[in-house]
Amino acid sequence: MVSIAKKILEDHLVEGKFEIGEEIGIRIDHTLTQDATGTMAYLQFEAMGLDKVKTELSVSIVDHNTLQTDFKNPDDHRYLQSVAAKYGIMFSRPGNGICHQVFLERFARPGKTMIGSDSHTPTAGGMGAIAIGAGGLDVAVAMGAGPFYLKTPKMVGVKLTGSLPDYVTAKDVILEVLRRISVKGGVGKILEYFGSGVKTLSVPERATITNMGAETGATTSIFPSDEITREFLKWQEREDQWMEIPAGSDDDFDEIIEINLSELEPLVAKPHSPGDVIPLSEVEGMKVDQVAIGSCTNSSLKDMLTAAALLKGRKIHPDTVLGISPGSRQVLMQLSKDGSLADMITAGARILETACGPCIGMGFAPKTDATIARTFNRNFYGRSGTKSANAYLVSPEVAVAAAVFGEFTDPRKLGDFPKIEIPKSIEIDDSMILKPSDKPEEVEIIRGPNIAPLPEFQALPDDFQFKVLIKTEDNVTTDHIMPAGAKILPLRSNLPEISKHVFEQVDPTFPERALESKEEGGGIIIGGENYGQGSSREHAALAPMYLGIKTVLTKSFARIHRDNLINFGILPLSFANTADYDKIKENDILEIKGVRKALEENQTIIIRDVTQRFDIETSYDLSERDRKILLAGGKLSYI
Ligand code: MIC
Ligand code: SF4
């Protein structure tokens, strides 16, 4: 037998050979975009000049930029709605829910391949799909029937045995995985779950695990499709879309991680990395100022019913605030029908919109120096909107305990675990999902003044000099490179404007200095290990490109960001000797000669540090296709 991930990938293989590390091209059945990355993706799709998407299913969901403080976000929504109508795309309107939750409920299918312009696309892996996060341009290409290219990943089997004790949850399973392999332990790998513990987890619980698998850097994560998957699809009135995908076994994997669910305890990820996982007991008694329950990781009906049941008859602590954002309109409707919403409100929860909201700093920012407990997947520095906040990632159960007691508390202190009844049937109402127009030729694309045209892409020159503009540490995230939040996110469709915020949290002088050196040849960014982890936002490549960055030189890259750099013609190079990383200094002038020839012939590129007078040997891990894209000045020109 083979692992299920390998089977699905091989069934969709259109180019290359399935050998670890080799590049393969796969056919993509489904695509997903959200609004914050979607506007760019669709501008790029439009530039490709096709009249319709060529996928089985493409879905555009508005969930990120829903805080409408002026015309910008609503203008973008109208643009996205008109594009969807014209090009054959399903459109989930603002208010309908968080992209991954909506996709899991209404669209995901076992055995399909899917890419999405959001790093948590692997959520659909909970349904037995191969679902991969990618840059918007890669999604645009897939919508036009172009293959998606990736390096053949290593197959890691995560063997689950036992069953979760009360108050220990799917969130603790993925936190345990992160505790063991950290934020780069999944790079180049697919995490595939198997073993007797799998059948103890519902689809939304599996989706919590595959969702946050993104934080390990993994290409994706996947569960088998079994009777539990069938039940979930039946519940969603889509049983006809079920197919069985039996789990793999010990021999099917290159590596195995074993987790006995019965032995797990409540865990938390401490500031500022999802990989810094410790037992909850280590922080018990620490005061918590703000609690938030929601996000694409923990906002299913089960999570919300659990939170409501635990809050019932209690009040939140006077020194703590609690915000709850249900994952979808479907979930919210159910909560409001069965009275759970009333239990939350009575306890003192503030009910937030069914959207990403506080997870991406769109409102509900905490107070100065706050300690915050969130059921989300990322706690990067500054992401909550308040730089001095310390964010801990927790399960809904731990979140409720913190809200009730005002400090980190073992949730078992809330008493016997309540019995959570998932109703046999719920109301399925897709009226907030608009079907594409049946007269696409009559649909006009609506562009508000916030939507700036795409920039010009320039081919890489042969020789150039550039200045070291910034030298960063290990594990720099795309949130560091291109911050999000209520102020900056509305600028996603406007490159000149958003570029003014590159590296804002790290060094606010960066954009100005970059523009100055753009006149004199451009700048370079020096990075440590795992540079560009986190969000798939291609703005973290596009905006530096706009500021004149032609090269990024690091110890290593995170997958999606590396692909985005290539897509926009920025050369991703690595140090052959990491000692050179230590030597190189900010403001050094560097020089590259004959880079085009080196790329054409797949030769080593040497960078000269002109200021300190030494040579830096670099290495790169670029397929022939990658090198052609770089030589063309990016993927759009290449196509
Ligand atoms: C995130 O969680 O960081 C985001 C916001 O969903 C991003 C996408 C974006 O930056 O628009 C992601 O995960 O890819
Ligand atoms: Fe939205 Fe947060 Fe999920 Fe990103 S991680 S898709 S911002 S809910």
pLDDT digits over 590-610, tens only?
Answer: 999 999 999 999 999 999 999
* 618: β partners: 575
Q: What type of residue is 542?
A: L
Q: Which atom of ligand 2 is nearest to the CA of 359?
A: 2
Helix (H, G, I), strand (E, B) or coil at 497: helix
Contact between residue 392 and residue 282 where contact means Cβ atoms under 8 Å apart: no
Cα–Cα distance measured from residue 535 to residue 507, given in angstroms and rounded to the nearest whole number: 20
> Other C-beta atoms within 10 Å of 49: how many?
7
pLDDT, residue 128, reads 98
**Spatial separation of the C-alpha atoms in residues 186 and 177, rounded to whole Å:** 10
Phi, psi of 628 (to 5 degrees): -65, -40
What was the pLDDT predicted at 454? Answer: 87
Q: Could you say which architecture CATH assigns to the domain 4-263?
A: 2-Layer Sandwich (3.30)
Q: How much distance in Å is there from the Cα of 579 to the middle of ligand 2?
A: 37
Mind telling me the catalytic residues? 63-64, 118, 378, 535, 537
Tell me how far CA of residue 169 lies from CA of 67, 101, 166, 209, 341, in angstroms: 31, 18, 8, 10, 22
**Ligand 2: nearest atom to the Cα of 118:** 6
Q: What number of helices (H) and strands (E) belong to the chain?
A: 22, 27
- What class does CATH assign to 267-409? alpha beta
Express each pLDDT in 319-347 by its tens digit: 999 999 999 999 999 999 999 999 999 99
User: Cα of 260 to ligand 1 centre, how many Å?
Assistant: 31
Segments making up each domain of the chain, as ranges: 4-263, 267-409, 464-485+492-633
SS3 of residue 220 by DSSP: strand
What percent of the chain is predicted at pLDDT more than 70?
100
Confidence grade of residue 519 (pLDDT, cut at 50, 70, 90): confident
Residues 612-631, mean pLDDT to the nearest whole number: 97
CATH 3.20.19.10 is the classification of domain 464-485+492-633: yes
Same fold, 4-263 and 464-485+492-633: no
* Best CA proximity match to 575, nearest among 539, 625, 615, 631: 615
Question: Which residue's entry shows tokens 């451009």?
Answer: 522
How many other C-beta atoms can be found within 10 angstroms of the C-beta atom of residue 350? 14
pLDDT at 455 over 90: no
pLDDT band at 355 (very low <50, low <70, confident <90, very high): very high
> What is the residue whose two structure tokens read 């050196």?
517
Predicted structure pTM score: 0.98
Which of 473, 455, 448 is CA-nearest to residue 73? 448
Find the residues whose C-beta lies inside 6 A of ligand 2: 64, 98-99, 118, 120, 295-296, 356, 359-360, 376-377
Q: How far apart are CA 4 and CA 193, in angstroms?
A: 10
Show the ligand 1 pocket: residues with CB < 6 angstroms. 36-37, 64, 118-120, 360, 378, 484, 535-537
